[in-house]
Structure 1
Protein backbone atom coordinates (compact mmCIF):
# COMPACT_ATOMS: atom_id res chain seq x y z
CA UNK A 1 0.00 0.00 0.00
CA UNK A 2 1.24 3.46 -0.88
CA UNK A 3 1.05 6.68 1.10
CA UNK A 4 -1.32 8.29 -1.39
CA UNK A 5 -3.84 5.50 -0.70
CA UNK A 6 -4.26 6.49 2.97
CA UNK A 7 -3.29 10.18 3.12
CA UNK A 8 -5.80 12.93 3.82
CA UNK A 9 -6.43 16.18 1.97
CA UNK A 10 -4.04 18.84 3.33
CA UNK A 11 -5.26 21.89 5.23
CA UNK A 12 -2.60 24.60 5.57
CA UNK A 13 -1.96 27.72 7.61
CA UNK A 14 0.24 30.64 6.59
CA UNK A 15 3.32 31.42 8.69
CA UNK A 16 2.19 34.96 9.53
CA UNK A 17 -1.34 34.01 10.57
CA UNK A 18 -2.11 34.13 14.29
CA UNK A 19 -2.30 31.17 16.64
CA UNK A 20 -6.00 31.68 17.24
CA UNK A 21 -6.60 31.48 13.48
CA UNK A 22 -4.67 28.20 13.40
CA UNK A 23 -6.64 26.88 16.40
CA UNK A 24 -9.95 27.67 14.69
CA UNK A 25 -8.80 25.84 11.56
CA UNK A 26 -7.77 22.79 13.59
CA UNK A 27 -11.16 22.73 15.31
CA UNK A 28 -13.14 23.29 12.13
CA UNK A 29 -11.42 20.41 10.34
CA UNK A 30 -11.17 18.17 13.42
CA UNK A 31 -7.44 17.62 12.96
CA UNK A 32 -4.41 17.86 15.24
CA UNK A 33 -1.75 19.39 12.99
CA UNK A 34 -1.35 21.87 10.14
CA UNK A 35 1.47 22.29 7.63
CA UNK A 36 2.80 25.86 7.77
CA UNK A 37 3.26 27.49 4.37
CA UNK A 38 4.96 30.58 3.02
CA UNK A 39 4.93 31.56 -0.65
CA UNK A 40 3.52 28.13 -1.60
CA UNK A 41 6.37 26.39 0.22
CA UNK A 42 5.94 24.19 3.29
CA UNK A 43 8.28 25.54 6.01
CA UNK A 44 7.06 23.80 9.16
CA UNK A 45 4.31 22.09 11.11
CA UNK A 46 2.15 23.28 13.99
CA UNK A 47 0.07 21.06 16.26
CA UNK A 48 -2.69 21.70 18.77
CA UNK A 49 -0.14 20.89 21.46
CA UNK A 50 2.25 23.55 20.11
CA UNK A 51 -0.51 26.14 20.44
CA UNK A 52 -1.31 25.03 23.98
CA UNK A 53 2.27 24.81 25.27
CA UNK A 54 3.84 27.79 23.50
CA UNK A 55 0.84 30.08 23.47
CA UNK A 56 -1.78 29.45 26.13
CA UNK A 57 0.44 27.84 28.81
CA UNK A 58 3.05 30.60 28.47
CA UNK A 59 0.37 33.31 28.82
CA UNK A 60 1.07 34.63 25.33
CA UNK A 61 -1.59 36.54 23.40
CA UNK A 62 -2.68 33.99 20.79
CA UNK A 63 -4.48 36.71 18.85
CA UNK A 64 -1.10 38.41 18.31
CA UNK A 65 1.42 35.57 18.37
CA UNK A 66 2.13 34.20 14.90
CA UNK A 67 2.18 30.60 13.77
CA UNK A 68 5.85 31.05 12.82
CA UNK A 69 6.73 31.63 16.49
CA UNK A 70 5.18 28.36 17.67
CA UNK A 71 5.73 25.95 14.80
CA UNK A 72 8.35 23.24 14.53
CA UNK A 73 11.41 24.67 12.76
CA UNK A 74 11.47 21.77 10.33
CA UNK A 75 9.01 19.65 8.45
CA UNK A 76 9.32 15.94 7.94
CA UNK A 77 7.83 14.64 4.72
CA UNK A 78 7.41 11.68 2.45
CA UNK A 79 6.22 11.19 -1.12
CA UNK A 80 2.85 9.98 -2.30
CA UNK A 81 4.37 6.93 -3.97
CA UNK A 82 6.32 5.83 -0.87
CA UNK A 83 5.19 2.59 0.85
CA UNK A 84 3.22 3.26 4.02
CA UNK A 85 5.69 1.13 6.01
CA UNK A 86 8.51 3.52 5.12
CA UNK A 87 6.43 6.52 6.18
CA UNK A 88 5.62 4.82 9.49
CA UNK A 89 9.32 4.17 10.13
CA UNK A 90 10.14 7.86 9.59
CA UNK A 91 7.44 8.91 12.07
CA UNK A 92 8.52 6.45 14.74
CA UNK A 93 12.20 7.28 14.33
CA UNK A 94 11.58 11.02 14.72
CA UNK A 95 8.86 10.80 17.40
CA UNK A 96 6.21 12.54 15.32
CA UNK A 97 2.68 11.49 14.51
CA UNK A 98 2.20 13.08 11.10
CA UNK A 99 4.09 13.67 7.88
CA UNK A 100 3.48 16.07 5.05
CA UNK A 101 3.07 14.24 1.75
CA UNK A 102 4.78 15.83 -1.25
CA UNK A 103 4.56 15.26 -4.96
CA UNK A 104 7.82 13.70 -6.12
CA UNK A 105 7.87 15.87 -9.22
CA UNK A 106 7.46 19.49 -8.13
CA UNK A 107 7.62 18.91 -4.35
CA UNK A 108 4.29 20.64 -3.66
CA UNK A 109 2.07 19.51 -0.78
CA UNK A 110 -0.55 16.93 -1.75
CA UNK A 111 -1.64 15.44 1.58
CA UNK A 112 -1.05 14.51 5.23
CA UNK A 113 -0.49 11.03 6.63
CA UNK A 114 -0.79 10.15 10.33
CA UNK A 115 0.70 7.27 12.25
CA UNK A 116 -2.55 6.76 14.12
CA UNK A 117 -4.21 5.90 10.83
CA UNK A 118 -1.64 3.16 10.31
CA UNK A 119 -0.68 1.59 13.63
CA UNK A 120 -1.82 3.67 16.60
CA UNK A 121 -0.72 6.95 18.08
CA UNK A 122 2.74 7.81 19.41
CA UNK A 123 4.12 10.84 21.15
CA UNK A 124 4.00 14.07 19.18
CA UNK A 125 6.75 15.67 21.24
CA UNK A 126 9.77 16.80 19.28
CA UNK A 127 13.06 15.35 20.55
CA UNK A 128 14.46 18.85 21.20
CA UNK A 129 13.23 22.32 22.10
CA UNK A 130 15.66 25.25 22.18
CA UNK A 131 14.49 28.09 24.41
CA UNK A 132 16.13 31.47 23.85
CA UNK A 133 15.98 33.84 26.80
CA UNK A 134 17.07 37.20 28.11
CA UNK A 135 18.42 37.53 31.64
CA UNK A 136 17.25 40.24 34.04
CA UNK A 137 18.45 40.90 37.60
CA UNK A 138 15.87 41.68 40.26
CA UNK A 139 16.28 44.15 43.14
CA UNK A 140 17.95 41.46 45.23
CA UNK A 141 20.52 40.75 42.53
CA UNK A 142 18.98 37.41 41.58
CA UNK A 143 19.03 36.59 37.85
CA UNK A 144 15.80 35.65 36.11
CA UNK A 145 15.21 34.41 32.58
CA UNK A 146 12.58 35.97 30.36
CA UNK A 147 11.73 33.62 27.52
CA UNK A 148 12.03 35.14 24.05
CA UNK A 149 11.19 32.18 21.84
CA UNK A 150 10.93 28.40 21.78
CA UNK A 151 11.88 26.47 18.67
CA UNK A 152 11.17 22.76 18.35
CA UNK A 153 13.35 20.55 16.16
CA UNK A 154 12.14 17.13 15.15
CA UNK A 155 15.32 15.35 14.14
CA UNK A 156 19.10 15.21 14.39
CA UNK A 157 21.54 15.35 17.30
CA UNK A 158 21.41 17.97 20.04
CA UNK A 159 24.16 19.96 18.32
CA UNK A 160 22.28 19.83 15.02
CA UNK A 161 19.07 20.88 16.77
CA UNK A 162 20.82 23.89 18.33
CA UNK A 163 22.27 24.88 14.95
CA UNK A 164 18.85 24.59 13.28
CA UNK A 165 17.14 26.56 16.05
CA UNK A 166 19.72 29.36 16.07
CA UNK A 167 19.41 29.79 12.30
CA UNK A 168 15.63 29.95 12.63
CA UNK A 169 15.88 32.43 15.53
CA UNK A 170 18.27 34.66 13.59
CA UNK A 171 16.15 34.53 10.42
CA UNK A 172 12.92 35.31 12.25
CA UNK A 173 14.48 38.24 14.12
CA UNK A 174 16.63 39.46 11.19
CA UNK A 175 19.84 39.04 13.18
CA UNK A 176 23.43 38.39 12.19
CA UNK A 177 24.01 36.31 15.32
CA UNK A 178 21.48 35.12 17.89
CA UNK A 179 23.16 36.70 20.93
CA UNK A 180 22.40 40.21 19.64
CA UNK A 181 19.12 40.03 21.58
CA UNK A 182 19.31 36.80 23.59
CA UNK A 183 21.51 36.19 26.61
CA UNK A 184 21.42 32.42 26.34
CA UNK A 185 19.36 29.35 25.56
CA UNK A 186 18.25 26.17 27.27
CA UNK A 187 17.83 22.86 25.47
CA UNK A 188 15.00 20.52 26.40
CA UNK A 189 15.48 16.96 25.17
CA UNK A 190 12.58 14.52 25.03
CA UNK A 191 12.86 10.74 25.16
CA UNK A 192 10.84 7.72 26.18
CA UNK A 193 12.13 5.79 29.20
CA UNK A 194 12.07 2.01 29.80
CA UNK A 195 8.52 2.23 31.16
CA UNK A 196 7.26 3.99 28.06
CA UNK A 197 6.92 7.37 29.82
CA UNK A 198 7.89 10.59 28.06
CA UNK A 199 10.75 12.25 29.95
CA UNK A 200 12.05 15.80 29.56
CA UNK A 201 15.56 16.93 30.46
CA UNK A 202 16.52 20.62 30.47
CA UNK A 203 20.13 21.67 29.93
CA UNK A 204 21.13 25.34 30.28
CA UNK A 205 23.67 27.14 28.14
CA UNK A 206 27.14 25.92 29.08
CA UNK A 207 28.94 27.83 31.85
CA UNK A 208 31.71 28.93 29.46
CA UNK A 209 29.24 30.22 26.88
CA UNK A 210 27.24 32.02 29.57
CA UNK A 211 30.42 33.79 30.73
CA UNK A 212 31.29 34.72 27.16
CA UNK A 213 27.79 36.12 26.68
CA UNK A 214 28.12 38.33 29.77
CA UNK A 215 31.61 39.52 28.76
CA UNK A 216 30.55 40.21 25.16
CA UNK A 217 27.63 42.30 26.38
CA UNK A 218 29.96 44.25 28.69
CA UNK A 219 32.32 44.99 25.78
CA UNK A 220 29.45 45.87 23.47
CA UNK A 221 27.92 48.32 25.96
CA UNK A 222 31.32 49.78 26.93
CA UNK A 223 32.09 50.54 23.28
CA UNK A 224 28.77 52.30 22.65
CA UNK A 225 26.63 49.41 21.35
CA UNK A 226 28.24 49.31 17.87
CA UNK A 227 26.51 47.61 14.95
CA UNK A 228 27.90 44.90 12.64
CA UNK A 229 30.71 43.94 15.05
CA UNK A 230 29.02 41.04 16.82
CA UNK A 231 31.37 38.32 15.64
CA UNK A 232 34.43 40.43 16.47
CA UNK A 233 33.17 41.23 19.98
CA UNK A 234 32.17 37.62 20.59
CA UNK A 235 35.66 36.49 19.57
CA UNK A 236 37.31 39.02 21.86
CA UNK A 237 35.11 37.98 24.77
CA UNK A 238 35.83 34.30 24.17
CA UNK A 239 39.56 35.04 24.05
CA UNK A 240 39.46 36.94 27.34
CA UNK A 241 37.51 34.18 29.10
CA UNK A 242 39.82 31.44 27.82
CA UNK A 243 42.94 33.38 28.84
CA UNK A 244 41.52 33.93 32.32
CA UNK A 245 40.85 30.19 32.63
CA UNK A 246 44.39 29.36 31.52
CA UNK A 247 45.88 31.69 34.13
CA UNK A 248 43.86 29.97 36.84
CA UNK A 249 45.12 26.51 35.95
Structure 2
Protein backbone atom coordinates (compact mmCIF):
# COMPACT_ATOMS: atom_id res chain seq x y z
CA UNK A 1 0.00 0.00 0.00
CA UNK A 2 0.96 3.65 -0.35
CA UNK A 3 0.72 6.57 2.03
CA UNK A 4 -2.88 7.54 2.67
CA UNK A 5 -4.21 10.76 1.20
CA UNK A 6 -7.75 11.89 1.96
CA UNK A 7 -10.30 14.69 2.02
CA UNK A 8 -12.27 16.04 4.96
CA UNK A 9 -16.09 16.15 4.88
CA UNK A 10 -16.33 19.95 5.17
CA UNK A 11 -14.06 20.65 2.18
CA UNK A 12 -15.72 21.89 -1.01
CA UNK A 13 -16.29 19.95 -4.22
CA UNK A 14 -13.98 22.40 -5.99
CA UNK A 15 -11.16 21.48 -3.62
CA UNK A 16 -11.93 17.79 -4.14
CA UNK A 17 -12.00 18.08 -7.93
CA UNK A 18 -8.70 19.96 -8.03
CA UNK A 19 -7.02 17.39 -5.82
CA UNK A 20 -8.29 14.51 -7.96
CA UNK A 21 -7.00 16.24 -11.07
CA UNK A 22 -3.65 17.10 -9.45
CA UNK A 23 -3.08 13.51 -8.33
CA UNK A 24 -4.56 12.10 -11.58
CA UNK A 25 -6.88 9.73 -9.73
CA UNK A 26 -10.61 9.05 -9.76
CA UNK A 27 -11.42 8.82 -6.05
CA UNK A 28 -10.25 9.64 -2.53
CA UNK A 29 -11.40 8.51 0.93
CA UNK A 30 -13.19 11.03 3.14
CA UNK A 31 -12.05 10.97 6.76
CA UNK A 32 -12.85 12.70 10.03
CA UNK A 33 -10.52 12.31 13.00
CA UNK A 34 -8.68 9.65 11.01
CA UNK A 35 -11.72 7.41 10.48
CA UNK A 36 -13.09 6.65 7.02
CA UNK A 37 -16.59 8.08 6.50
CA UNK A 38 -16.96 7.47 2.78
CA UNK A 39 -15.40 7.86 -0.65
CA UNK A 40 -15.63 10.78 -3.07
CA UNK A 41 -15.23 10.09 -6.79
CA UNK A 42 -15.16 12.27 -9.88
CA UNK A 43 -18.50 10.70 -10.78
CA UNK A 44 -19.96 11.78 -7.42
CA UNK A 45 -18.83 15.33 -8.17
CA UNK A 46 -20.30 15.22 -11.68
CA UNK A 47 -23.61 13.53 -10.87
CA UNK A 48 -24.44 14.94 -7.43
CA UNK A 49 -22.88 18.33 -7.89
CA UNK A 50 -22.59 19.51 -11.48
CA UNK A 51 -25.60 17.59 -12.88
CA UNK A 52 -27.83 18.93 -10.09
CA UNK A 53 -26.64 22.48 -10.78
CA UNK A 54 -25.08 22.82 -7.32
CA UNK A 55 -22.35 25.38 -6.63
CA UNK A 56 -19.10 23.36 -6.27
CA UNK A 57 -17.55 26.25 -4.32
CA UNK A 58 -20.20 25.86 -1.62
CA UNK A 59 -21.29 22.24 -1.76
CA UNK A 60 -19.39 20.09 0.74
CA UNK A 61 -17.72 16.77 0.14
CA UNK A 62 -19.99 15.22 2.79
CA UNK A 63 -23.03 16.08 0.63
CA UNK A 64 -21.70 14.27 -2.45
CA UNK A 65 -19.57 11.41 -1.14
CA UNK A 66 -20.58 7.76 -1.37
CA UNK A 67 -21.22 6.24 2.05
CA UNK A 68 -20.14 2.76 3.16
CA UNK A 69 -16.80 3.02 1.38
CA UNK A 70 -15.31 -0.30 0.38
CA UNK A 71 -12.24 -0.90 2.53
CA UNK A 72 -9.87 -3.71 3.31
CA UNK A 73 -8.03 -4.45 6.53
CA UNK A 74 -4.30 -3.91 6.79
CA UNK A 75 -4.25 -7.60 7.75
CA UNK A 76 -5.95 -8.65 4.50
CA UNK A 77 -3.99 -10.69 1.98
CA UNK A 78 -3.16 -9.39 -1.48
CA UNK A 79 -5.51 -12.01 -2.94
CA UNK A 80 -8.37 -10.75 -0.76
CA UNK A 81 -7.75 -7.15 -1.83
CA UNK A 82 -7.71 -8.12 -5.52
CA UNK A 83 -10.91 -10.15 -5.17
CA UNK A 84 -12.64 -7.27 -3.38
CA UNK A 85 -11.67 -4.74 -6.06
CA UNK A 86 -12.77 -7.02 -8.89
CA UNK A 87 -16.06 -7.83 -7.19
CA UNK A 88 -16.83 -4.15 -6.63
CA UNK A 89 -15.38 -3.02 -10.01
CA UNK A 90 -13.11 -0.46 -8.35
CA UNK A 91 -9.42 0.27 -8.80
CA UNK A 92 -8.54 1.63 -5.34
CA UNK A 93 -9.26 0.58 -1.76
CA UNK A 94 -8.86 2.39 1.52
CA UNK A 95 -6.82 0.29 3.95
CA UNK A 96 -8.00 0.59 7.56
CA UNK A 97 -7.13 -0.75 10.99
CA UNK A 98 -9.50 -2.42 13.46
CA UNK A 99 -10.96 0.98 14.45
CA UNK A 100 -11.58 1.88 10.77
CA UNK A 101 -8.79 4.43 10.84
CA UNK A 102 -7.18 5.08 7.48
CA UNK A 103 -3.64 3.67 7.28
CA UNK A 104 -3.05 3.56 3.52
CA UNK A 105 -4.32 3.22 -0.03
CA UNK A 106 -3.94 0.19 -2.28
CA UNK A 107 -4.68 0.19 -6.01
CA UNK A 108 -4.96 -2.50 -8.64
CA UNK A 109 -2.02 -0.98 -10.50
CA UNK A 110 0.09 -1.21 -7.32
CA UNK A 111 -0.70 -4.90 -7.05
CA UNK A 112 -0.13 -5.57 -10.74
CA UNK A 113 3.23 -3.83 -10.54
CA UNK A 114 4.32 -5.68 -7.43
CA UNK A 115 4.63 -2.32 -5.69
CA UNK A 116 8.00 -1.58 -7.26
CA UNK A 117 8.81 -1.21 -10.95
CA UNK A 118 6.47 0.73 -13.19
CA UNK A 119 5.11 -1.08 -16.21
CA UNK A 120 6.19 0.11 -19.69
CA UNK A 121 2.62 1.15 -20.61
CA UNK A 122 -0.42 2.39 -18.70
CA UNK A 123 -3.71 2.62 -20.59
CA UNK A 124 -6.33 4.82 -18.93
CA UNK A 125 -9.95 4.46 -20.08
CA UNK A 126 -12.16 7.49 -19.52
CA UNK A 127 -15.62 8.95 -19.92
CA UNK A 128 -16.14 12.53 -21.09
CA UNK A 129 -17.77 14.52 -18.27
CA UNK A 130 -18.83 18.17 -18.37
CA UNK A 131 -17.65 20.32 -15.47
CA UNK A 132 -19.61 23.16 -13.82
CA UNK A 133 -18.53 25.50 -16.62
CA UNK A 134 -19.80 23.12 -19.29
CA UNK A 135 -16.27 22.17 -20.36
CA UNK A 136 -15.46 18.50 -21.02
CA UNK A 137 -12.79 16.64 -19.08
CA UNK A 138 -11.66 13.03 -18.83
CA UNK A 139 -13.11 11.09 -15.92
CA UNK A 140 -11.02 7.98 -15.33
CA UNK A 141 -12.96 4.71 -15.51
CA UNK A 142 -10.14 2.20 -15.28
CA UNK A 143 -6.35 2.10 -15.57
CA UNK A 144 -4.49 -0.96 -16.87
CA UNK A 145 -0.73 -1.55 -16.69
CA UNK A 146 0.89 -3.67 -19.39
CA UNK A 147 4.39 -5.06 -18.94
CA UNK A 148 5.62 -5.70 -22.46
CA UNK A 149 5.07 -5.44 -26.18
CA UNK A 150 4.52 -2.53 -28.52
CA UNK A 151 2.08 0.29 -27.85
CA UNK A 152 -0.56 -1.33 -30.10
CA UNK A 153 -0.12 -4.69 -28.35
CA UNK A 154 -0.40 -2.98 -24.96
CA UNK A 155 -3.61 -1.21 -26.01
CA UNK A 156 -5.16 -4.46 -27.26
CA UNK A 157 -4.22 -6.28 -24.05
CA UNK A 158 -5.67 -3.42 -21.98
CA UNK A 159 -8.90 -3.42 -24.00
CA UNK A 160 -9.34 -7.16 -23.44
CA UNK A 161 -8.82 -6.75 -19.68
CA UNK A 162 -11.18 -3.76 -19.59
CA UNK A 163 -13.93 -5.66 -21.41
CA UNK A 164 -13.51 -8.67 -19.13
CA UNK A 165 -13.51 -6.59 -15.96
CA UNK A 166 -16.47 -4.45 -17.01
CA UNK A 167 -18.23 -7.45 -18.54
CA UNK A 168 -18.96 -5.73 -21.84
CA UNK A 169 -18.62 -7.08 -25.38
CA UNK A 170 -17.10 -3.85 -26.73
CA UNK A 171 -15.14 -1.42 -24.58
CA UNK A 172 -16.74 1.64 -26.21
CA UNK A 173 -20.02 0.85 -24.44
CA UNK A 174 -18.36 1.61 -21.09
CA UNK A 175 -15.80 4.29 -22.02
CA UNK A 176 -15.43 7.16 -24.47
CA UNK A 177 -11.72 6.75 -25.11
CA UNK A 178 -8.33 5.96 -23.63
CA UNK A 179 -4.99 7.64 -23.08
CA UNK A 180 -1.66 5.82 -23.12
CA UNK A 181 1.33 6.60 -20.92
CA UNK A 182 4.57 5.00 -22.10
CA UNK A 183 7.27 4.60 -19.48
CA UNK A 184 10.98 4.46 -20.31
CA UNK A 185 14.35 5.16 -18.74
CA UNK A 186 16.28 8.36 -19.38
CA UNK A 187 20.02 8.67 -19.91
CA UNK A 188 20.63 8.85 -16.16
CA UNK A 189 18.37 5.91 -15.39
CA UNK A 190 15.44 8.05 -14.31
CA UNK A 191 11.88 6.94 -15.12
CA UNK A 192 10.29 9.12 -17.82
CA UNK A 193 6.66 9.16 -18.94
CA UNK A 194 5.16 10.21 -22.27
CA UNK A 195 1.41 10.78 -22.52
CA UNK A 196 -0.18 9.78 -25.83
CA UNK A 197 -3.81 10.84 -26.12
CA UNK A 198 -6.29 8.78 -28.11
CA UNK A 199 -5.63 10.11 -31.58
CA UNK A 200 -7.81 10.80 -34.58
CA UNK A 201 -5.78 8.13 -36.39
CA UNK A 202 -6.74 5.53 -33.78
CA UNK A 203 -10.38 6.58 -34.10
CA UNK A 204 -10.20 5.89 -37.85
CA UNK A 205 -8.36 2.59 -37.47
CA UNK A 206 -10.58 1.07 -34.78
CA UNK A 207 -13.85 0.56 -36.76
CA UNK A 208 -11.94 -0.59 -39.85
CA UNK A 209 -10.03 -3.20 -37.81
CA UNK A 210 -13.28 -4.45 -36.32
CA UNK A 211 -14.81 -4.88 -39.79
CA UNK A 212 -11.76 -6.90 -40.87
CA UNK A 213 -12.07 -9.05 -37.74
CA UNK A 214 -15.78 -9.69 -38.35
CA UNK A 215 -15.20 -10.50 -42.02
CA UNK A 216 -12.56 -13.05 -40.99
CA UNK A 217 -15.06 -14.87 -38.77
CA UNK A 218 -14.16 -13.40 -35.34
CA UNK A 219 -10.83 -15.27 -34.86
CA UNK A 220 -9.07 -15.03 -31.50
CA UNK A 221 -5.51 -13.87 -30.97
CA UNK A 222 -5.20 -11.85 -34.19
CA UNK A 223 -6.16 -8.40 -32.90
CA UNK A 224 -2.76 -6.88 -33.65
CA UNK A 225 -2.69 -8.20 -37.22
CA UNK A 226 -6.12 -6.73 -38.00
CA UNK A 227 -5.16 -3.43 -36.37
CA UNK A 228 -1.92 -3.18 -38.35
CA UNK A 229 -3.72 -4.00 -41.61
CA UNK A 230 -6.35 -1.35 -40.91
CA UNK A 231 -3.60 1.11 -39.94
CA UNK A 232 -1.83 0.59 -43.26
CA UNK A 233 -5.06 1.38 -45.07
CA UNK A 234 -5.68 4.55 -43.06
CA UNK A 235 -2.06 5.72 -43.42
CA UNK A 236 -2.11 4.98 -47.16
CA UNK A 237 -5.22 7.06 -47.66
CA UNK A 238 -3.71 9.84 -45.59
CA UNK A 239 -0.55 9.87 -47.71
CA UNK A 240 -2.59 9.82 -50.91
CA UNK A 241 -4.61 12.78 -49.68
CA UNK A 242 -1.43 14.73 -48.97
- Taking structure 1 as the reference length, the TM-score comes to 0.44
